[in-house]
Chain A
Amino acid sequence: MDDREPDTLPFGRRRRTAASALVAILVAFVLGVLFNAPAMKKTAMDLPFGGQRSFRLALVSPAAAVSHWVFLDRPAQFAAAVLGKPDPGPVPVEVVVLSPRPTSQPTASGRPRAKPEDKPLPKPRAGHPMRLYIAGDSMAGIPGMALVNLSRDTHLIRPLLDYRISSGLVRPDSFNWPVQLQRQVKAFDPGAAVVMWGANDNQGMQTSSGKVYEFGSGGWEKEYRKRIGDAIAILFGGGVRRIYWVGQPVMPESIYDRKIRVMNDIFRSEASKHPGVQYIDAYEVLSDGGGYSQYLRDEKGKMQQVREADGEHLTYAGGMRLAKVVMAAIKADWFGDKTPGAGSASPSPKASAKATPAP
């Protein structure tokens, strides 16, 4: 007696053979790759420079070429255009870094002076809040949200949070922050900006000439400093009066942490070179005596988990800890000492150029 299950199921649904399923899967896979090849190529290009990126590009580029040749990239492009979504491809080959807009005080060389206007800061008041632009990578997300909440509490600061996952200053081909900054300062007209980059910048960087510098090399540092200067100039050129440059916090993994400290040193020294730019030492704020800890005590001595399970990103408590320090710096500049809560930053609201001790 055949005790196998029936071949037909509800409404005449048929079971098929594994071979039939394989055919369907293969067709779906091949066609799916061809349909989505430009997006896959963009994803591969966004990888850090190196062997994995080259390997992925070697696999995907022929598919993208075939897809284009047989017009199979068009349906996705058409659908994206209809929906108003940005076209994933073709990807720009060269790096595009916009020149900063001229400030009101150009230098003799014509290069924009990375310096805010010298007028006194306007005091925010009801109906005329100070506009605060918060930008950065994924590490800026949670502290940015906490800062938004603190800003709302003042009723005198209107915040705009603009953080982009997997972004930074070294890969404008992946996400072009200079362009984004220009757009945002034009649209939002901020008085102050809080920026936090670096978590994804621990990778090679390609200059506009096409040369790729390894992380930490002399060429890399020079180019990175230039891009920081460009970002500062764009913000000041757009009317921003104060920039709060937030460094990256201590990291659990030693190699990554070493790179973070290299970048923090650069941020700190660039901030000290530019009047109107204040460095916020997140490394110190979120470390336990200079070392890494997933938990820290708050000002009341209560233990708080400050890092997410990945060990790197901040929990809301960690983000708030950092945001309070940033807000203290903002209030000191814009409100003097009279605004309620101005001195509430804790612990150790250090917005300084002090060297961070190595963990």
Chain B
Amino acid sequence: MLFPTITFAVFFLLVFVGNWLLMPRPRLWKPFILLASCVFYGWWEWRFVLLLALSAVANQLFAKAIERAATAAAGKWLLAAAVAVNLGVLGWFKYYGFFVTSVADFLAVFHLNADLPLLRILLPVGISFLTFRVLSYVIDVYRGKLHTSSLLDFAVYVAFFPYIMAGPIARAGEFLPQLAGPRDPRRVDTSRAFFLIFAGLAKKMLLADYLATHIVNGVFTTPGQYTSLETLLGIVGYSVQIYCDFSAYADIAIGISLLLGFELPENFNAPYTAISVQDFWRRWHMTLSRWLRDYLYIPLGGNRKGPTRTSVNIMITMVLGGLWHGAGWPFIFWGLLHGSAQVVEHRRLDIRKLRVQRRLRPADGRAAGAPPGPPEIDLRPWGGGVWPRIGVFVFVTFAWVFFRSATFGAALSVLAQLFRGWGSIGAAVTPVLLLVIAVGIGVQYVPRSLYERVEAGFSVLNPLVQGGLLAVGFMLLDVLGPTGPASFLYFRF
């Protein structure tokens, strides 16, 4: 079920009413919301509901066993088993084909013709998000940060429909406490919810889908048909498209959750205003970044084991982050690019710190006339201002070319086209295209306080007026947007 459809509107209306009617009775509410989530997910493919059920039961058993483990070693083994099972399931659905074809290609180098079995495996929507959600639960139980919850609570957490398809990756520790008691129907943050839902739909329908159909899909599939300027705008357009598409889903998911009384973590914070690649990852897909940091980078040693290990840990984290997005070498390369950039930034900061320390070394360990307290070191690898922002955007946009392309060859064809046809502008370069790209980037530079003022103004309106304004807004979106709903990009991840 897609968000921008009348089917979902009817579904949500029914769920909203049921949600608040049953909220005071958790014993009824929890099965209800679980059933609603299964309907939502099963609408796509009912057999995948079984996967949800199996995931919930298996991980609950693992978590209980870990909690009751007699020794630390036993707990560790159980955790390893849980991680292996979850990653095994993910690998089966998502990486089987990639693995088999890669092995076959590798063997072919040695003239070995391996007739490996290739199966048609239907990828369950949102399985990568599901895997990370349930792993957060099992790992936090192992770490003692979380107590196991009831199976019903855990199943609600696993299947909660607003985030099931494409995040945000709400951790068990963020969501399960909200199930402890009924949400208060007198304190619903409705205006923020409506704003997020509307803004999400606008970003998706007006910006992302327009860019996809107008230029991005063409530039990335038939680059030879486009001039260099069109190609450049197509590449930049993809940067805007993927932000508008993915953040739109997150906005709508957060908004819908708010209307049901639940808060989900933020997933985007103006990522194209970042002043470094590290900063970008603190703003882009924030729940994934935090997950990778807390459950992969830090357990690997983080930055505690010297510069070399730090660099290795960053590279491992980013490459696996790339692989998480999709089964293919371009995704891995995309991760490598981002990892390398962060390693460079880390090294740059390390050198800066070293220089400051050297300056402080004479006499009593502090430069003459230096103020008391620790020295101030600029922790921004490239400083602030406009140029670092432009540089990071250019880098991120360049890396997206590999993320978007099916093969390296396809990515290189797109990049090569940047240098082949500067003789003319191209028919795809229109004022609307330039406006859409400018808006897609520009909205990230609008101060947050402005959005909050609009939300505050909306919140005091009569609900009849609120509904009327929303209806007019939806009508305009329908008129301005493309015909028919398009699937969200991150569903495939």
Residues of A within 8 A of B (CB): 4-5, 7, 9-33, 35-36, 39-40, 43, 75-76, 79-80, 83, 85, 142, 145, 148-149, 152-153, 161, 165-166, 252, 292-295, 301-305, 307, 309, 311, 315-317
**Residue in A15, A145, A152 whose CB lies within 8 Å of B190:** A15
Indicate if B406 sits at the interface (CB-CB under 8 A): yes
**Closest A-chain residue to B406, C-beta based?**
A316
Q: Give the complex CA separation of A159 and B62 in angstroms.
A: 58
Q: Give the complex CA separation of A322 and B406 in angstroms.
A: 17
Q: Give the complex CA separation of A15 and B191 in angstroms.
A: 8
Instruction: Choose among B218, B259, B459 the residue with the greatest number of A CB atoms under 10 Å from its CB.
Output: B459
Q: Give the complex CA separation of A19 and B188 in angstroms.
A: 10
Cβ < 8 Å to A, chain B residues 464-493: 464, 466-468, 470-472, 474-476, 478-480, 484, 492
Residues of B within 8 A of A (CB): 6, 9, 12-13, 16-17, 20, 97, 100-101, 104-105, 108, 113, 118-120, 122-123, 184-194, 218, 221-222, 224-225, 259, 261, 406-407, 410, 449, 452-453, 455-456, 459-460, 463-464, 466-468, 470-472, 474-476, 478-480, 484, 492
Q: Give the complex CA separation of A202 and B456 in angstroms.
A: 52
Q: List 21 A-B contacts (CB under 8 A).
A: A10-B452, A12-B460, A14-B460, A15-B459, A16-B463, A21-B190, A23-B467, A24-B467, A25-B12, A27-B463, A27-B471, A29-B13, A36-B475, A79-B479, A85-B479, A145-B221, A149-B222, A153-B224, A301-B108, A303-B101, A316-B410
Question: Which B residues are in CB contact (< 8 Å) with A311?
Answer: 120, 122
**Closest A-chain residue to B453, C-beta based?**
A11
Beyond A26-B13, A29-B467, A33-B6, list 13 extra A-B contacts (CB 8 Å): A12-B460, A13-B189, A20-B463, A25-B12, A27-B466, A28-B466, A28-B467, A32-B470, A35-B474, A40-B6, A166-B484, A252-B120, A316-B407
A36 with B478: CB separation less than 8 A = yes
Question: Which A residues are in CB contact (< 8 Å) with B472?
Answer: 31, 35, 75
**Residue in B12, B185, B221 whose CB lies within 8 Å of A316:** B221
| 6 nearest CB pairs, A to B | A27-B467, A31-B471, A11-B456, A28-B470, A35-B475, A18-B185
**Closest B-chain residue to A77, C-beta based?**
B479
A5 with B187: CB separation less than 8 A = yes
CB distance from A188 to the nearest CB of B (A): 14
B222 with A13: CB separation less than 8 A = no
A294 with B97: CB separation less than 8 A = yes
B456 with A21: CB separation less than 8 A = no
A12 with B467: CB separation less than 8 A = no
A309 with B122: CB separation less than 8 A = yes
Question: Which A residues are in CB contact (< 8 Å) with B100?
Answer: 303
Question: Which A residues are in CB contact (< 8 Å) with B12?
Answer: 25
CB distance from B181 to the nearest CB of A (A): 12
Question: Which B residues are in CB contact (< 8 Å) with A165?
Answer: 484
A24 with B194: CB separation less than 8 A = yes
B455 with A13: CB separation less than 8 A = yes
A14 with B449: CB separation less than 8 A = no
Question: Which B residues are in CB contact (< 8 Å) with A76?
Answer: 475, 478-479
Given contacts A79-B475, A83-B479, contact A20 B120 (CB under 8 A): no
Q: Give the complex CA separation of A94 and B484 in angstroms.
A: 23
B191 with A13: CB separation less than 8 A = yes
CB distance from B225 to the nearest CB of A (A): 6
Q: Give the complex CA separation of A18 and B20 in angstroms.
A: 7
Q: Give the complex CA separation of A252 and B459 in angstroms.
A: 51
**Closest B-chain residue to A23, C-beta based?**
B463
Question: Which A residues are in CB contact (< 8 Å) with B97?
Answer: 294-295, 305
**Residue in A10, A32, A309 whose CB lies within 8 Å of B471:** A32
A10 with B456: CB separation less than 8 A = yes
B192 with A13: CB separation less than 8 A = yes
**Residue in B6, B122, B259, B452 whose CB lies within 8 Å of A11:** B452
Question: Which A residues are in CB contact (< 8 Å) with B123?
Answer: 309
Given contacts A31-B468, A36-B478, A145-B221, contact A13 B105 (CB under 8 A): no
Q: Give the complex CA separation of A293 and B475 in angstroms.
A: 43
Q: Give the complex CA separation of A43 and B6 in angstroms.
A: 11
Question: Which B residues are in CB contact (< 8 Å) with A39?
Answer: 478
Question: Which B residues are in CB contact (< 8 Å) with A148?
Answer: 222, 224-225
CB distance from B187 to the nearest CB of A (A): 4
Question: Which B residues are in CB contact (< 8 Å) with A35?
Answer: 471-472, 474-475, 478
Question: Which B residues are in CB contact (< 8 Å) with A295?
Answer: 97, 101, 118
B468 with A27: CB separation less than 8 A = yes
**Residue in A14, A32, A302, A317 whose CB lies within 8 Å of B105:** A302
A22 with B455: CB separation less than 8 A = no
Instruction: Choose among B13, B101, B104, B479 the residue with the greatest number of A CB atoms under 10 Å from its CB.
Output: B479
Q: Give the complex CA separation of A149 and B224 in angstroms.
A: 7
Question: Which A residues are in CB contact (< 8 Å) with B193?
Answer: 21
**Residue in B104, B191, B407, B478 whose CB lies within 8 Å of A303:** B104
Q: Give the complex CA separation of A161 and B468 in angstroms.
A: 42
Q: Give the complex CA separation of A307 and B120 in angstroms.
A: 9
CB distance from B145 to the nearest CB of A (A): 23
CB distance from A58 to the nearest CB of B (A): 15
Q: Give the complex CA separation of A27 and B456 in angstroms.
A: 20
Question: Which B residues are in CB contact (< 8 Å) with A85?
Answer: 479
B474 with A28: CB separation less than 8 A = yes
B113 with A293: CB separation less than 8 A = no
**Residue in A4, A79, A161 whose CB lies within 8 Å of B476:** A79
A14 with B191: CB separation less than 8 A = yes
Given contacts A27-B471, A28-B471, A303-B105, contact A19 B185 (CB under 8 A): yes
Q: Give the complex CA separation of A15 and B192 in angstroms.
A: 9
Question: Which A residues are in CB contact (< 8 Å) with B20?
Answer: 18, 22
Q: Give the complex CA separation of A210 and B412 in angstroms.
A: 53
Question: Which B residues are in CB contact (< 8 Å) with A9?
Answer: 189, 192, 456
Question: Which A residues are in CB contact (< 8 Å) with B221?
Answer: 142, 145, 316
Question: Which B residues are in CB contact (< 8 Å) with A36?
Answer: 474-475, 478
Q: Give the complex CA separation of A316 and B120 in angstroms.
A: 17
Question: Which B residues are in CB contact (< 8 Å) with A153?
Answer: 224
Question: Which A residues are in CB contact (< 8 Å) with B104?
Answer: 302-303
Question: Which A residues are in CB contact (< 8 Å) with B460?
Answer: 12, 14
B16 with A25: CB separation less than 8 A = yes
B467 with A4: CB separation less than 8 A = no
B449 with A152: CB separation less than 8 A = no
A15 with B189: CB separation less than 8 A = yes
